[in-house]
A = this chain, B = another copy of it.
Amino acid sequence: MKTKRFFLPESQIPTQWYNLMADMKNKPLPMLNPATKEPIKAEDLYPIFAEEVSKQEVNMTDTWIDIPEEVREKYKIYRSTPLVRAYELEKALDTPAHIYFKNESVSPVGSHKLNTALAQAYYCKQEGLTNITTETGAGQWGTALAFAAKTFGLELAVYMVKVSYRQKPYRRSLMQTWGAEVIASPSMSTKAGRKIITDNPTYQGSLGTAISEAIELAMQTPNCKYTLGSVLNHVALHQSVIGLEAEKQMEMAGEYPDIIIGCFGGGSNFAGISFPFMRHKILDGKNTRFIAAEPASCPKLTRGVFQYDLGDEAGYTPLIPMFTLGHAFAPANIHAGGLRYHGAGSIVSQLLKDDLMEAMDIPQLESFEAGVLFARTEGIVPAPESSHAIASAIREAKKAKEEGVQKTILFNLSGHGLVDMTAYDSYFDGDLRNYELSAEEIAKTTSNLEQIIK
């Protein structure tokens, strides 16, 4: 009998996260203070983020960072996650490729977001904080932080983009079940929110606005800080637990991936599956291909520019060196809400610039077609975000067939779609479409950015 799923014993759950920045030859450019244009230091971030993650954010020297024992204990609720050989998908594609996926959807919140939520909540608790805030768009990050906050005894307020608050009631309900307060954004509870509501009472919200509200509330609340679920370096650090496990599990399977794929929004799940393997590309000359699968409607990596840009619309964040479509870019309303972000984190942006990785854009309909095929073969209904990685893996598996070569493909299944079934309904009803972006549209939101790297 062929083995389908590979698990690690609990004793082999990683004890350290891997910090790719320490091994990169070209380091990511530093974040800058928008006013002074000076590089950001850890202390500059303390007013907003927990001190420990602020230090991690700018740490370019320590390759390995200890996972606190208390966080590792919580990881045991769902880790190790299985590495799965997708035999049924291979059969359906009639491909010589071997397809593996790392199944992060088994976490109780349904996605990989819990890996960093637990770490961030733990550090906030350690620092003596009592409250934390965040924003959520599609809702995966907010649900993860809701459980993490509860398990470490923190009160959490989540600003949820208003349109998601209405369209994804199950996500809101999950956060409340874990004890979080959920506020539809824009709201009357912050200055930023009040201004927007006053100017435009029917505005349905955006991630940028929700970030502004969450930061503002954190700054004005005693013993309270803000947390973010993607883009930043410390988030990528925490997510490295995915790839570190996968490395050992691929060894159990007796293979090494030729191609590694993650879907791409801010970069957290892509970083998680990739960076530990990227280490071997940088240090040992491994010839692995890394593919970030982004939506064609939000193509920052394939069509954006590499520039310093803001992380949010309102301009509360530092300037980040990123491949970006501009912080004013308004992505089409695709169902993969977690991928609707204008920019990529600084590490990934540097890797892409240095040709250490590549990017692929996937039209919405192709992503759903891939998701449905995956559900009907491997049984798991994927999150619309994760379906982009599946679509990319399918493209590569078909290419392997055409070329008659046996490739080993590994992708990250970042989450399941059980609370996103309205998206599948729309797909089956024929209500979804692809979105084509013209060069002019992209120029509109990128041309006014200060271009620092040509």
- A191 in the interface (beta carbon within 8 A): no
Distance of A368 Cα from B372 Cα, bound (Å): 33
Contacts of A418 in B (CB 8 A): 110, 170, 174, 418-419
Query: Min CB distance, A399 to chain B, in Å?
Result: 26
Contacts of A73 in B (CB 8 A): 1
B147/A379 in contact, CB under 8 A = yes
Distance of A108 Cα from B374 Cα, bound (Å): 12
Render A415-454 as a binary contact track against B, CB cut-off 8 A, 1 for contact.
0001101101100100000000000000000000000000
Query: Min CB distance, A138 to chain B, in Å?
Result: 15
Distance of A150 Cα from B7 Cα, bound (Å): 27
B170/A421 in contact, CB under 8 A = yes
A379/B5 in contact, CB under 8 A = no
B176/A428 in contact, CB under 8 A = yes
- A106 in the interface (beta carbon within 8 A): yes
A–B pairs, 7, beta carbons within 8 Å: A5-B10, A77-B378, A151-B376, A151-B379, A170-B418, A176-B428, A419-B421
Contacts of A176 in B (CB 8 A): 424-425, 428
Query: Interface of A with B (CB < 8 Å)?
Result: 1, 3-5, 7, 10-11, 72-73, 76-78, 88, 106, 108-110, 147, 150-151, 169-170, 173-174, 176-179, 372, 375-381, 418-419, 421-422, 424-425, 428
Query: Min CB distance, A167 to chain B, in Å?
Result: 13
- Copies of chain A in the complex: 2
Distance of A254 Cα from B73 Cα, bound (Å): 20
Contacts of A106 in B (CB 8 A): 106
Contacts of A72 in B (CB 8 A): 1
Distance of A140 Cα from B88 Cα, bound (Å): 23
A375/B178 in contact, CB under 8 A = yes
Query: Min CB distance, A427 to chain B, in Å?
Result: 9
* Contacts A77-B379, A151-B88 given; does A372 touch B177 at CB 8 Å: yes
B380/A108 in contact, CB under 8 A = yes
* Contacts A1-B10, A174-B418, A177-B424 given; does A150 touch B376 at CB 8 Å: yes
* Contacts A3-B10, A10-B5, A169-B425 given; does A381 touch B150 at CB 8 Å: no
5 nearest A-B pairs in the assembled complex, by CB-CB distance: A108-B379, A173-B421, A170-B421, A4-B76, A108-B380
Contacts of A11 in B (CB 8 A): 1
Shortest Cβ distance from A11 into B: residue: B1
Contacts of A378 in B (CB 8 A): 77, 108
Shortest Cβ distance from A179 into B: residue: B376
* Contacts A88-B151, A178-B375, A372-B177 given; does A4 touch B421 at CB 8 Å: no
Greatest chain B CB density within 10 A among A3, A7, A11, A428 is at: A7
Additional 17 contacts, C-beta under 8 A, given A4-B10, A170-B170, A176-B425:
A1-B76, A3-B10, A5-B10, A5-B76, A106-B106, A108-B381, A110-B418, A147-B375, A151-B376, A169-B421, A170-B418, A170-B419, A177-B381, A177-B421, A177-B424, A178-B375, A418-B419
